[in-house]
Amino acid sequence: MESLPEDVLLEIFSRLPARSAARLRAMSRSWRAELSSPSFVDLHLRRANTTAPPKLFCCPCDDKLMLADQWCLYDLQLGGGPGRELVRGGEFGDVLPAPLTKPLRGLVLVMCYGRNGVYVCNPSTGGEALALPDTELPSKATFRPSLGPGPPYYRNVAYGLGYCSAAKEFKVVRMFSEGHYEETATRCKVFVLDSPAYWRPAAGKPPPACIVENTGVFLDGSVHFLCSDGGGMVSFNVADESFGSLPAPPPLAAAVYGVADWRIRERMTELDGCLCVCQYACGSDGHGPCRLWLLRRHGGGDETAARWEKLCCIDPIPWPSRSIVPLCMYGEKILMRTGRSVVFAVDAAAAAGGAPEILFRPDEHEATAGEFEDTQLPALGLYEESLVPVGRTVEEIVFSSPATRAWSDVLKWLPARTVSELSVVCKAWRAMVTTDRFIRSHAVHANMAARRPRIRFVMDPVGGVPADIDRHTDEIHEPDISPKPFVCSQPCHGLNVGSFSDVLDFVCNPIMDYHEELPLIESDDDYDDDGDDDIFYGRIALGYDEEVGDHVVVRLAYTENNPETRSYKLQCRMRYVKRREWSPQPIPPPPRPVASATPAYANGKIYWLVDPALGPASATTTTPPTSACELVALDCRNAVARHHYDVVRGPPMPPCGRVSLLRLHGALCVACSDRDANAIDVWAMQQGAGTAAGDAVWSMVYRIELAGYSPEYTSEKTTVMGVDPTSGRILLNTSRSVTTIPRRGSWRRSTVSEGCTRRQMMAVVHDF
């Protein structure tokens, strides 16, 4: 190698696959500098992609993904099958990425099913990926309940990737359209890769009333968006961030095919250097022909001289699919793909009557065999060999500044509402407070200071509209507190989870007015709750997975519950909050029957109370009056994949009385009501106590005597909510009022209004 001239070596290296060329950077510092230089990256991009066959990648079916620890992407050999492995796991974890765009200098915009997050990825270098901020739950596309006029939000978010050759920078563009309020205009945000700035408004303003649903297509220096309301196309110039417009292709009428109720679908892409729109009609009982239109420019490339020309009409009957989209030109033929990852080629000249040439069917190869779901965005797309990096993360860029690190150490102690208001000071602060690093740090430090617990009344359990307990009752707008059962967890890393009646589960951040329903999934018809007046209080639980960096929600439900025979059947579902869908994998339920008591999260585990009336008598036999309750603990570390349970022996409890779980001062506590003495005993598990049955060590930390305040305060209807660290007062909830009591001294009570004391009061304690 030393005898070869440097220019010869570079010529050889420039024709290697990107993954091989990237590995050569580890040979020496000089090679690393040379092979990372912009000149060599551009040379490699030109030389390594001169081969004729297009490069595609594909993913195995969902069944194989469930059996594997991590998904993988294969290099697709046209006319053959899956070739070498391109990507395995990596930044995407255990969720499936689906390409949104064609490769632009090697970079592809992908969306991950399950997380809904958007990434910039380079498949050719082993899946190097950059997570774009504020894409899993975009703030402008999230409904935030409010007692007054709420902030605007949008139903549609469309993304596009562009490149400015003059500035040599990539820009991710997203369009917010179809606002919830009619007067809400379309907005455009820009994110520059490897730049310290956050999402910022585009320099120009998009048309105010366009509705954009399709992914943007980059061509000739602009990102083009197809409007779904017949408004033509909107063009975003990547260099100066101005907007233009182009005409839409002739509309396709479903009535042409004799079916008036079919839905017309349109997808736009780039084909043979032109914008291409694919139109097809589909319904529940079939599909119409697929028409391809090309926007050709005449007269020197002037946009005013652009004209749509019909390329071909394809019969989709041999491969019915929700999505048929052209990929690229393959010689004289058009390469197409379906929603089931089938790849075929058609001759544009004979597409109306010519038979397609099937180039790839995933079910014909062992690596990808199985049942593929018919989807709009299958995990199949184009890629190209490229050494272009995706850039640094926002967190790496932001915290590389000493000034930003100093401000982070100041802001992490402030309440969340204050931090949210300060985030509009500048884009650097906005970028800083939205990073996972700052969020994790703030969740710890902002709640370390001794502050009074924040309590909010939930005025509308369905919409999640909260109201501060400290506000004057006249400001609460005559709340309509529902008589149906309501349960809400203690805060866990800033979020609360709860249930309203037997029909609604939700997760919320009351301080930030965030509220999201947790809808049931298809097979939840098997869940058999007992009705509105007998809610199963142990069914919904919330913990935090430190390894994944996300909240984990656990939902339990009985399909069989017979105390007479002690038989039961318990089902379990889990999901991460950010991924917005329940895990499709079957989750084993806890090894013991769970009682109807609110679960608690402490020290990285979720705890449920065991129901002694169900299951084998040997496992739950108790002998009053010195019996001890049992708990089931779920380790939240990688909970969805591991689902590791332990059985923990609880403290002694009276022979009759109610038992509830909660977290006080960071420790797991069990509150046992003594019905005969009308008192509540609060037991705490000592830190570091074992989790195996019999190893836990408990000590009584409070005894709350209510006999002197009966009949309004009874141990059977009063629950402990928390402790005020500033005064040591204990917060109690009687379902009609919130009361604070000291260990000795007078009581203080807060109610919403006299009209609410006869109904179920819904109060939530939350973090700062």
Does the pLDDT of residue 693 top 90, yes or no?
Answer: no
For position 531, what pLDDT does the model report? 42
**pLDDT mean over 47-71:** 68
CA pair distance 745, 730, nearest whole angstrom: 12
CA-wise closest residue to 170 among 97, 109, 232: 109
Q: What is the rounded distance in angstroms from the CA atom of residue 614 to the CA atom of residue 603?
A: 28
pLDDT score of 517 more than 90: no
Summarised one tens digit per residue, pLDDT across range 24-40 is 888 888 888 988 899 99
Question: Of 46-55, 190-199, 239-248, 516-525, which range is least confident?
Answer: 516-525
Q: What is the DSSP string of 315-352?
A: --TTS--S-EEEEEEETTEEEEEETT--EEEEESTTTT
Gap between the Cα atoms of 433 and 481, Å rounded = 35
Q: What is the pLDDT of residues 331-356, one digit of tens each?
A: 788 888 888 888 888 887 765 545 67
What are the DSSP calls for 551-565, one per residue?
A: EEEEEEEEEEEETTT
Question: Which residue, 266, 215, 272, is CA-closest to 54?
Answer: 272
Highest mean predicted confidence (pLDDT) among 228-232, 577-581, 624-628: 577-581
pLDDT digits (tens, 9 = 90+) for 365-405: 766 666 677 777 888 888 888 999 988 888 888 888 898 89
Interatomic CA distance for residues 664 and 687, integer angstroms: 12
pLDDT of residue 527: 44
Q: Coil, strand, or helix at residue 547?
A: coil
Please count the CA atoms within 13 angstroms of the CA of 338 that sit on its side-chain side: 25
* More confident site: 20 or 481: 20
Residue 526 pLDDT class (50, 70, 90 cuts): very low
pLDDT digits (tens, 9 = 90+) for 667-682: 999 998 888 888 889 9
Please tell me the predicted confidence (pLDDT) of residue 737.
62
Determine the average pLDDT of the residues in 411-431: 85
pLDDT score for 358:
82
Dump pLDDT digits (tens) for 707-765. 877 777 788 888 888 888 777 888 888 766 665 565 543 344 443 333 233 234 444 55
- pLDDT tens readout for residues 40-49: 999 989 888 8
Whether 492 contacts 541, CB under 8 Å: no
pLDDT value at 621 more than 60: no
> Could you give the percent of the chain with pLDDT greater than 70?
74
For residue range 236-282, list pLDDT tens digits in order: 999 999 999 888 888 776 545 555 556 777 888 999 889 998 887 77
Question: Three-state SS for 432?
Answer: helix
Q: Which of 652, 686, 654 is nearest to 669 (CA)?
A: 686
pLDDT at 467 over 70: no
pLDDT of residue 245: 87
- For the chain, domain boundaries: 394-449, 465-522+532-703
Report whether pLDDT(169) > 90: yes
Distance CA 454, CA 764 (A): 8
Mean pLDDT of the chain: 77
| Residue 351 vs residue 290, higher pLDDT | 290
Q: What is the mean pLDDT of residues 84-96?
A: 64
- Which has more pLDDT, 586 or 694? 586
The number of helix segments (H) and strand segments (E) in the chain equals 12, 46
In the structure encoding, which two tokens stand for residue 259, read together?
A: 């079916």
For 571-586, b where at least 16 C-beta lie within 10 A, e where not — what string? Answer: bbbbbbbebbebbeee
Among left, alpha and beta (phi > 0; psi -120 to 50; other), residue 21 is alpha
The helix or strand, by DSSP H or E, that contains position 427, with its residue range, turns out to be helix 427-433
pLDDT recorded at residue 482: 60
Residue 691 has pLDDT above 50, yes or no: no
Res 172: pLDDT = 95
Amino acid at 45: L
* Range from 219-223, 573-577, 625-629, 703-707 that averages highest in pLDDT: 219-223
Strand, helix or coil for residue 359:
strand
Site of tokens 């041999």: 318
Give every CB contact of residue 267 below 8 A, 6+ residues apart in sequence. 214, 226, 277, 278, 323, 325
